[in-house]
Each structure stands twice: as C-alpha cells, then as structure tokens.
Amino acid sequence: MLPNKRSKNLKGLAAIIVASAVTPFAVAQIAAPDVVESAPIATDAFAIGGISPAEGALPSSLWDRSDPQTLEYLLGHLPARPVSPSIGQAMRRTLLSSGTKPSGASPSLGGRKLLALTRAGFVTEARDIASLATSGRSDLTVAEADATINLLTNNLEAACRRGASLNGGREALFWVRLRAFCYARAGELDAFDLTMNLLRERGALKGDDETLLLAVAGAEPKTMPTVTTAIQYAAAKSAGLSLDAGAVANAQGGVLAAIADDTEADKSLRIAALEQLVAMGVADITQLKGLFNEMSFEVAELGAVMDIAQERPADAGIDAMLYQSIGAMNAPEFIRDKAQRISFALSRADSFHRAYSLAHLYADEIASLEGVLVTPEEASRFAVARMAVGDSVGAGRWLTAMIGTNESVAALPEPLGLAFIDRVNLLSNLDPQTAARIARAAGVSLLTDEPAQAAGVSSHEDPSVTARILTAAFDAVAGEKQGQASLAALAASAGKGPENGEVEMVVIGEGLNAAGMPELRRLHEFERAWAATFVSGASTEDATSHDGDGFVPRIKPRVN
C-alpha cells in the first residue's frame, strides 16, 4: 500500500530533524514542509450542512447506525408548517447539520431533505445546499425539490424546464400539476385541458387547485382561493391575484417565505407571513424588524398611533407603526410612557404567532425596563414576553412585580389573581423550580399531587403512521441514533388529526432529549401551553375563565 501524503510529509520532517542534529545550519537553510490534511468532499445533498457547531449544528455522527429507509420515511412526514418555534429550531439544527449519510442510502434521501427544508420555509438554505451537491441530480425527488425551489423563487421557466426534461416518473401528481400550470402559463390550452382532465380522473384536483390553475388560463375566480403549496402560490402570482392574510393562513412555510421575500407584495401580507415564520422558528426576528422599519408613515400618524391602533386592532400594519413610535421614545423622561405603549402593543396579539413575534420584537426593550414602575397588567404581559424568549429568570421578576408590595396574591383583585395563576402555570412548563419559588413567595402552592396538564399536539389521522414513527423513535433512543431521534420527534409533531396526540407528545419530548436538545423540549411544552390559550379563545390577556381547552390552575392558596 502506498503511504499517504501526510505520512510522506511526516517522514520528510523527521529526516530534516535528524539532519539538523548533524549539520547545525540545516534547519536554517531548509524549511519544513507543511503537514497537509485531506478529507473527502461531501457531494450528496443529504451530507451537506449549512450551520456550524456554534450555531447549534449536531455532531457529524448524527446519522451513524441509522437505516436509510427509516430516515426516508421520517423525512417524508416532516411538518410543512412547524407547529412551534422550538420545532422549527430543531428542524433547522438537524437538517442543516453536516454528517455522513448512512451506508446504502440512495440520492433520494438528499432529495427528501431538500423537499422538507423547502416546504417548511428554509428555501434559501435548501437552494444553497442544492447548488453544492454534485450527485443525485437525476433523482426524481431531487428534481421535485429543485422545481419547488424554482417555483418559490419566481424562476418559473426553470421549474417548467425541470419538469419537461424528466426521463421517467412524469405521472407523479406533482409533475402532472406542474405540467398543467406550465401549459396554462404558456397559453397551450388544448394540452392544459387534457392535463386537467387527467387530474380530475385521478381525483387529484381539489377545489383550490382547479380554481387557481384555471385562473392562470384566464378564468377569473369568483371567490379568493386559499393558497397552500408552491404550485398554488406560483399559479396565484401568475394569475395576478391579490392575496390577503386569510388566503395564506394555512400555507406551507415555503410559500410564506416566498411572500415575505416578495418586495412587490402588499406589506401587510408580508408582515402576516413573517409573523407566522417567526413563530415557526423559520425566520429571524431581524427580518420582521427590517420590514417594519421600511414602512413609511406620516408624522401625524405616528403622533396619533394609539388612537389609530384602537380603531384597527387586527391591522398588522399598525404593529409596524407602533414599533416605529416606540423606537423613537429614547429620552429617559419617556420611559414610563414607553413601558405603557409596549404593553399596549403586546395586548393587540390575537393569535399565538402574532403574540410570539411581538414578544421577540420588543425583547430588548422589555429587558431594559426592569426596575421601572409598571402596573400589574403591564408586568403580566412582560412576564409572558420574557418566557417567550426563554428567559425564565426575567419572567420571574416580572411576576414578582405583579404582586408588588402586597404580601400575597390574595391581595390582588380576582381577575389579576387568576392572571397571576396562569402566568405561574405557564412558567412551570419552562422552569418548574422558578415557578415553584414564585408561587411560594406569593402565598400559593403548586398542586404537586396532580399531573401537569399536557400541552398537546394533533395526532396523525392514520394510526399506522404513528406506529411507524413510534417504532423509529424507540429504535433511535435504544441505538443512540441522534439524527433519527430528532426526525422522529419532528415527524410526530406533524399530525393533523382532531384528537389530542398524547403518543406524539411523548415521542417529541423523548426524541428531542435523545437528539441532545432537551432545552427545546422545555420550550416546546411552554409554547404549546401558551398556544392553547389562543386556540380555546381564552387569551392570556383575559385569564378569568379556565374551562374548555384553556388552562386549569395548578396552584392554590397556601395553608400555613
């Protein structure tokens, strides 16, 4: 066997050291050669990463010992809309970590990864990985990922060419739908009609699919269709339809990312898209701040922003107006008014994704307000906002401020006392120790004899899917398969069934633990508990009722 380059270099260096012992001038006259390390360059999309360990990447061994078919199944069931910010963060850390693919894996594994990233909203990252991959270009799944990326980045000609250049697999529904779109866009109406009939015969034309594709062909829709997938979004954009927030309320993350990046789109629509992306753990809050700062308002509007905001509570554009007005309140004498206005801005949240985004939007400002005298209502809102950014200690200080100089929660008016209970309940999902300490100081006790209310997720409609995900999770935990454990947790979070997914919730928790991300498990539990208050219609802004799917208080007055 020939010696490798490194061993040659090491032998050469040893010879120089020996010579220098005989000839004193040898070291001065002959420079030691550099030691060269060599490593194979990853060319498959599955092996290529996009983040460093400092950014949360998992170890390069994350796919060791995993079965490629199991990974491919899990990748095919990952969420297109991460159910919580922590799930989006776990997805990012797992799929953007570089690691050697398992032995026997086909190129379609890389395609599955690219598709999962693209659908969830990591479009730029998927495009970068695809551009670096030099193998698997002819794989059908890779081709679908490429076409989807092109559809979402307004490179429609490239998407149509990708479909037209296929050598096989053209009858898969994705490609048939794409052909219908491309025929309609090119004005080839006979071919378009034939393709639409093929889709109808296969029962693959849902109402919105047909409406949007017909719109590209020139038929104006009677009502605004909803947009979910990349093809639907490209069709709506090609047809010149003016989308609103309601039309994309359930859109895949990739569609929301395309809207957020579209400088020609209505700014309120872009704000709605970005708020959802932030609350999916896909977009960074700096993107929302940048968009807010881009918006122009009259001086008179900024001066009357509180009155305007009262009149238009659901207008996301007013969130930007409030943000700019708060940013202008830099003088120390405005600190009390600033606290009041931030609290008011937070109170406008009518959904989890809006509340989460606003909490992160004002995170730095709220942190700088500690020590400022605020009302109990304001302290309550600031406490939840600090929980949203994972600051349980800061949240505890704001909860203490709710009590103020009172000896216990009993001294507060009943609505505020109940609100305090809900906040401590929320905090116990994130940091049980801090929650217990705050409860004791307020004269209440945690109900340790009752189990904590589970922050549920939706179940999978097909029990066989849950069974296979559960099997993959058991295998990952027992075999210390870090990446597989994370994929199982992510797949478990993607259920859409009406029942509370107790099994899925266990898989998520144990999977994140086994993947080396236990902090995300805690965050997920908090986020789901907080989100449940919006689903039930009992926002944490008005915590006077505790029935339905809202919180059940888990603390009670302490008996001395």
- SS3 readout for 273-333: HHHHHHHCCCCCHHHHHHHHHHCCCCHHHHHCHHHHHHHCCCCHHHHHHHHHHHHCCCCHH
The span from the CA of 244 to the CA of 263, in Å, is 15
pLDDT, position 405: 73
Q: Residue 230 burial (CB < 10 Å; 0-12/13-18/19+)?
A: buried
List all residues 6 or more positions away from 465 whose beta carbon is below 8 Å from its beta carbon: 77
CA dist., res. 256 & res. 277, Å (int): 7
- For residue 15, the model assigns a pLDDT of 40
Spell out the residues 6+ positions from residue 463 whose beta carbon is closer than 8 angstroms to its own: none
Q: Which two tokens stand for residue 519?
A: 């902090």
- The amino acid at residue 365 is E
The tokens for 513 are 């633990």
Q: What is the pLDDT of residue 446?
A: 61
At 89 the pLDDT is 98
Q: Tell me the two tokens of residue 445.
A: 């006790």
Q: In the chain, which stretches have pLDDT less than 70?
A: 1-42, 446-456, 498-500, 536-560
Per DSSP, the three-state class of 556 is: strand
Residues 69-101 have pLDDT tens digits of: 999 999 999 999 999 999 999 999 999 999 999
Give the pLDDT score at 444.
Answer: 79
Element (H, E) at 511: helix 502-514
SS3 of residue 221 by DSSP:
coil
Angle, CA of 198, 201 and 205, to the nearest 5°: 80
Predicted local confidence at residue 316, as pLDDT? 86
pLDDT digits (tens, 9 = 90+) for 339-357: 999 999 999 999 999 999 9
Region at 284 (left for phi over 0; alpha for psi -120 to 50; beta for the rest): beta
> What is the distance between the alpha carbons of residues 482 and 71, in angstroms, rounded to a whole number?
12
17's CB contacts (< 8 A; 6+ apart) are none
Q: What is the pLDDT of residue 366?
A: 97
| SS3 assignment, position 34 | coil
Output b/e per residue, 373-384; b: 16+ Cβ within 10 A.
ebebebbbbbbb
Residue 305 in tokens? 């922003």
Model pLDDT, residue 196: 97
pLDDT for position 3: 43
Per-residue pLDDT at 31: 54
Mean pLDDT estimate for the chain: 86
Q: Determine the pLDDT at residue 156.
A: 97
Considering only CA atoms, which of 384, 386, 337 is closest in space to residue 364? 386
Query: Is 481:475 a contact under the CB 8 Å cutoff?
Result: yes
Which pLDDT does position 136 carry in this prediction? 80
Q: How far apart are the first and last CA of the chain?
A: 80
At 329, list the tokens. Answer: 């309140």
Helix (H) or strand (E) run with residue 355 in it? helix 352-361
